[in-house]
Amino acid sequence: MEPINVFDYETLAKERMNPAYWDYYAGGSDDEVTLRDNQRDFARIRLRPRMLVDVRQCNTSTSVQGLPISMPILVAPTAMHCLAHSEGECATAQGAGAVDTLMIASTSATRTLEEIAQAASGPLWFQLYIYYSLDVAAGLVRRAERAGYQAIVLTVDLPAMGNRERSRRHGVPMPPPPLVRANFVGIGQEDIGQVAVTWETIDWLRTITSLPVLIKGILTAEDAQLAIAHGVSGIIVSNHGGRQLDGVVTSIEALPEIVEAVAGRCEVYMDGGIRRGTDIFKALALGARAVLVGRPIIWGLAADGARGVQQVLSILHTELELAMKLAGCPTLASINHTFLKL
C-alpha cells in the first residue's frame, strides 16, 4: 500500500536501513527528553478554526529570502544522506526540486556541494559548519557561491557534540572515503586547527560573502536580539532535533518569544518535530515564515530515493492545505495566533 503519511515512511525506512544508520538519524542526546517533547509540544497546542470562509482555493506559495517556493516547507540540513540511499543528497535535491521547494545542503554531506547543485532543479542554501579553520570555511563559502547557492546558513548550536547514546552504542557510522569527507577532499593536516565560533564569527562571515547569512540554533529572545545586532538575514529556531543539549525548550515553545524579539527585522523559521500539516499550520500561526523538515526527509529518501523525498514533501503540503481549509484560512497571510489556544 502506498504510504499515506510520514509515519508510514518512517516504518518503511526503519525496515530498510542498517540498524546503526537508523539509530544515527533517529536518536537524540542523553535521555532524549527534548527529542520526544519536540513532537509533544505541537500536540499540546489546540486549534481554533473559523467557519463560513470561502476556502475553495488555498494558496501555499511564499518566498524565503526573496526566493519563490511552492510551500512554506524546506528541507533541513542533515548529514550523510548516503547512509539512507546510495545517491544521497543528489536524490534529496531532486525530490525537493520536483515540488518546487528549497533544500539546505549540509557541510557534512556525502556528496560534494557542487554535485548537489548539479543535481538540483530548485533553489539551494548551504549550511556551514566551521571545521578546521576560518580559511577552510571561507573556501566552502566561495565554492557555494560559485555553485549557485543563494544563502549561507551557519549552525551555531554545536560548540561540542551532544551525548548521542544511541550512536555511541554502535559507534558513529561512517561511509567509506571519499563520501565521509566529500566537501573536504584535499584538506590536509596543516589546515586543521581549532575555531571558536562566536558572535564575531557572524561579523567575519558577512565580510566574506554577499549572500544572505542566516543562523540556525537560536532558542532565546536574548540571542535573537544579538543576531539582529550582528546583521543576520534570518534566524532558524532549532534545538538540533533534540541531538545537542537535552532538556532545552522545544522549538515551537521558543518560537513566540523569538518572533516578538525580532519584530519583523528578519525572517524567522523553525525546525524540530514537524510531522503533520497541522504542525506546520501552528508554526506559521506563531510567526514562522516557513518550517524545516529533517528526519521525515531521510525516511522518504531511505524508502524510495528522490521519489520518496518528493512524496514526503507532497504529503505535508497536502496536509497543510487541508488544515488551512478546515481552519478557515485561504492564504498563508490569513494564518495568525488567533487560530491557536496555547
The three cell numbers locating residue 67: 526566493
Q: Is 230 exposed, middle or buried (0-12, 13-18, 19+ CB in 10 A)?
A: middle
Q: From CA 137, how far away is CA 314, in angstroms rounded? A: 34
Catalytic residue among 170, 240, 317, 337: 240
Query: How far apart, in Å, are the Cα atoms of 21 and each of 17, 48, 64, 302?
Result: 6, 40, 32, 11
Residues in the chain: 342
CB distance 126 to 99 below 8 Å: no
Q: From CA 167, how far away is CA 47, in angstroms rounded? A: 37
For residue 60, which phi and psi values (nearest 5 degrees)? -105, 0
For residue 36, which phi and psi values (nearest 5 degrees)? -70, -40
For residue 239, which phi and psi values (nearest 5 degrees)? -110, 25
Residue 81 designated active-site: no
* Coil vs helix vs strand at 42: helix
Q: Which residues belong to the active site? A: 240
